[in-house]
Amino acid sequence: MMKGNSPMKHTQTWIIISILFTFLTACAGSTATETRPLPTPVVYTTRVPSVEGAIRLFLDAYRVLDYSAMYAMLTETSRAAISEQDFIKRHEEAIYAMSVSGMEYAIQSTLTNPSDAQASYRLTYKTALFGDISRDYVVALRLENGQWRLEWHDGLILPELAGGKTLVTYYTIPTRGNIYDRNGKPIAIQTDAYALGLIAGGIPEEDKEALFKRLSQLTGVPVDVFAPKYESYRAGDYVPVGEATVEDTQASGVLAYSGVIATRYTSRYYYPNVAPQAVGHLLYISPEMMSTYRRKGYSGGERVGVQGIEAWAEDLLRGRNAATLYLASAEKTPESILAQVGSQPASSLTLTLDRDLQQQAQAAMNGLPGAIVVMEVNTGRILAMVSSPAPDSNLYDPANYNFMMLGEMLSVPGIEKNRASTGIYPLGSVFKIITMAAALESGLFTPDTVYDCQYEYTEIPGLTLYDWTWERCQQEKIETGNEKCTRANSLPSGELTLKQGLMRSCNPWFYHIGYTLFMNGQTTAIADMARGFGLGQPTGIEQIEEAAGNIPIPGDPVQATSLAIGQGDTLVTPLQVATFIAAIANGGTLYRPQLVEQILPAVGEPIQVFKPEARGSLPIKPETLQAIQQAMRMVAENPRGTAYNRLGTFAIPTAGKTGTAESGNPNPQAWFAGYSLANRPNKPDIAVAVIVEQKGEGSIWALPIFRRVMEIYFFGRPQTLYPWEKNFGVIDPEYGLPATPTPTP
């Protein structure tokens, strides 16, 4: 019941006074012949704000952790007793200790007086560790400046905290789950490891070659990376090399050599060169992310997954902390247990990656910037994913003595970027596969349509475009001083069928297709076909970050010819390319690429995760697909094919397409994409996409790497030297490759 004078009684009094005043005035001034209307009475009301509305406003702010808004709703007395900073700190400490992930509330009753009020409600904390924590609350309010303000005290966080009590949580953190390759070989495990290094000048000259070779094999660090440092550092300086497990280090025999320094530590160890950008690494929780992780049940002192599989599978790989929530004194001394939960062991993962293939494919890049994707054509399994240059994931751990090299490593441009899935590039002539598909599906061309491929293309009035043979001819003239070109690849290709046009990668042929389709009203035919091949959109891999790329719609004939050869604003990822090449190989099915084979719970049978997932089919007729397959075979097997010099006598039958894409820099992007046709039951056929950034022609740079990947996959090791190698993994300095920079000691 409301006490004191109510607003209604005040209103009634003013109405009576108004009526009497009007009546008396009328009587005094009236005459028998004059009648005046009564004036409209004035009604005065007093509005009291809603107590329930104020409580909802306060608790809604609490639900989104808007502590400043909550603090602004406190009475002047409450704000004088606690600063906003301490108010926020008090709440954050409790929220983190309880691992609060959300809140729910229900207002139960309110009691309102003119200048004070009272409300009761139930608040339920939804916690990541301890389940629901519910309490009933009673809060007093005062009317200040026309608004209800709350009289705050510690008990409004939890009743148990009244009087300055605190919450303290003790955690037991389970060992992080391991990551294995498809054959059960470890990729990332918790183990004892050595940070390995050398003392400059401390190795006998006769031991250098043997020791350097063993260290390189052990750590995965090429000799030409650490040897120059050893030679340039001052005598006695520490030269970091890399890391290896204690077991592998002891078995290698390197500890028997003079000048070797091995510093032991325990950590999550990453085997070298196993897709570091795709696998990811661990970092300590940053201040900016602390609130997010504490509310998930982390203690705040863990290292968490960053990038790739480590981030995607964080909840699986970390398990769940065991935790005990204590009511403690203001000095954080535990007094009684409020809640307790046991740990949940971490799961491990088996990936689709083949560790041996991945490590050798990483080495196959020879330090060149670029990417490789290796995919089973009939499943979507990723067997290798290379992004070069690649970081040493072990350097992110401060426990590693070689941690001192982290800054130098991160100074390498783009070293953390996964070029295979987030690198976007013009595709160049590999895109001609798609243009050929659009041409055949348009009804304007057949596989046997003939076009005369000369140096120049002049169908667009006022514009002359050139074939790659013209550029070769200009280069030959410079080299020989002759006015005429005589080399086979410096001469125009002449009359070619459409299939032969792809085999020879004739630019004018595909300019002609782009122009013809555009001028015949099929302005989006090539762009639509590219999207049908999965370009311009994510592949759906999910387990790692990826870019969508871009497929433009041509607005004029010039843009149409540019799109037809994969230039202009066309941008793709190597992962997208490997995916559509696999679809060509398997008969037209676009599989979702995947990296995770299965989950391995700490207890129980493995959870089968991998299942081939078809996300679409190439939008082409069987006869179109057959023509493309035949043309790609001709690229590798016909003596006039652009890949014949490397694949014509290769023991494994292959099909593919070279690509050289202008990059806006003096040297273009080098591409090769293709697939095997071995049809071996124990070795499923694979699709491989290779890009070497800003090096030159695809047939010179990317094609040899494609062949090496095929050699590694089918024969277990490289068999053919690169043009730029003196020996496997040893660069010929006379070939023009940039030397590895030597950091200043």
pLDDT, one tens digit per residue, over 263-311 is 999 999 999 999 999 999 999 999 999 999 999 999 999 999 999 999 9
Residue 733 has a pLDDT of 77
Residue 25 has a pLDDT of 39
Phi and psi angles of residue 183, each rounded to the nearest 5 degrees, phi first: -100, 10
Residue 411 has a pLDDT of 96
Residue 37 has a pLDDT of 57
Over residues 497-514, mean pLDDT? 98
For the cut 90, the answer to whether the pLDDT of residue 399 exceeds it is yes
- Both tokens of 640, joined, read 């006039």
- CA distances (Å), 80 to each of 59, 84, 143, 164, 493, in order? 21, 10, 17, 16, 88
Cβ atoms of residues 578 and 374 within 8 Å: yes
CA 104 – CA 126 distance, rounded (Å)? 8
What is the band of 735 on the pLDDT scale with cuts at 50, 70, 90? confident
Residue 47 has a pLDDT of 67
Phi and psi angles of residue 211, each rounded to the nearest 5 degrees, phi first: -65, -45
DSSP of 277-336: HHH-EEEEPPGGGHHHHHTTT--S-SEEEESHHHHHTHHHHH-B-EEEEEEE-TT--EEE
CA 157 – CA 95 distance, rounded (Å)? 9
What is the band of 39 on the pLDDT scale with cuts at 50, 70, 90? low
The predicted model scores a pTM of: 0.88
What is the sign, positive or negative, of the torsion defined by CA atoms of 711, 713, 714, 716? positive
State the DSSP H helix or E strand holding residue 451, giving kind and residue range, or none if neither: strand 450-453
Over residues 428-451, mean pLDDT? 98
Strands 348-351 and 179-180: parallel
What is the band of 32 on the pLDDT scale with cuts at 50, 70, 90? very low
What is the band of 4 on the pLDDT scale with cuts at 50, 70, 90? very low
- What is the share, in percent, of the chain residues with pLDDT greater than 70? 92
For the cut 80, the answer to whether the pLDDT of residue 48 exceeds it is no
pLDDT, one tens digit per residue, over 56-111 is 999 999 999 999 999 999 999 999 999 999 999 999 999 999 999 999 999 999 99
CA 384 – CA 360 distance, rounded (Å)? 10
CA 360 – CA 272 distance, rounded (Å)? 11
By mean pLDDT, which of 12-26, 94-108, 141-155, 398-412 is the weakest? Answer: 12-26
For the cut 50, the answer to whether the pLDDT of residue 2 exceeds it is no
pLDDT, one tens digit per residue, over 689-707 is 999 999 999 999 999 999 9
Over residues 640-667, mean pLDDT? 94
Over residues 481-488, mean pLDDT? 92
CA 453 – CA 466 distance, rounded (Å)? 10
- Both tokens of 318, joined, read 């970390």
State the DSSP H helix or E strand holding residue 166, giving kind and residue range, or none if neither: strand 166-172
What is the sign, positive or negative, of the torsion defined by CA atoms of 13, 15, 16, 17? positive
Over residues 404-419, mean pLDDT? 96
What is the band of 571 on the pLDDT scale with cuts at 50, 70, 90? very high
- CA distances (Å), 495 to each of 452, 471, 644, 659, in order? 4, 19, 20, 21
What is the band of 734 on the pLDDT scale with cuts at 50, 70, 90? confident
On the 0-12 / 13-18 / 19+ scale of CB atoms within 10 A, 705 is buried
- On the CB side of 246, CA atoms within 13 Å amount to 10
Is the bond into 723 cis (omega within 30 degrees of 0)?
no
DSSP assigned state of 487: S
CA trace torsion 230, 231, 232, 237 (10° rounding): 40
Those residues whose C-beta lies under 8 Å from the C-beta of residue 441, and which sit 6 or more positions away, are 525, 529, 619, 620, 621, 624
Residue 15 has a pLDDT of 38
Residue among 570, 555, 547 nearest 432 (CA): 570
- Both tokens of 144, joined, read 């200040």
Mean pLDDT value across the chain? 92
CA 609 – CA 524 distance, rounded (Å)? 38
DSSP of 332-364: --EEEEEEEE--BPPPEEEES--HHHHHHHHHH
DSSP of 203-256: S-GGGHHHHHHHHHHHH---HHHHHHHHHHSPTT-EEEEEEEEHHHHHHHTGGG
What is the band of 737 on the pLDDT scale with cuts at 50, 70, 90? low
- What is the share, in percent, of the chain residues with pLDDT greater than 90? 88
The tokens 């003196």 sit on which residue?
A: 726
State the DSSP H helix or E strand holding residue 101, giving kind and residue range, or none if neither: strand 100-112
What is the band of 43 on the pLDDT scale with cuts at 50, 70, 90? very low
pLDDT, one tens digit per residue, over 335-352 is 999 999 999 999 999 999
**How many CB atoms are located within 10 Å of the residue 722 CB?**
22
Q: End-to-end distance of the chain based on CA atoms, in angstroms?
A: 83
For the cut 80, the answer to whether the pLDDT of residue 22 exceeds it is no
- Both tokens of 199, joined, read 């003392």
For the cut 60, the answer to whether the pLDDT of residue 402 exceeds it is yes
**How many CB atoms are located within 10 Å of the residue 14 CB?**
14
For the cut 80, the answer to whether the pLDDT of residue 622 exceeds it is yes
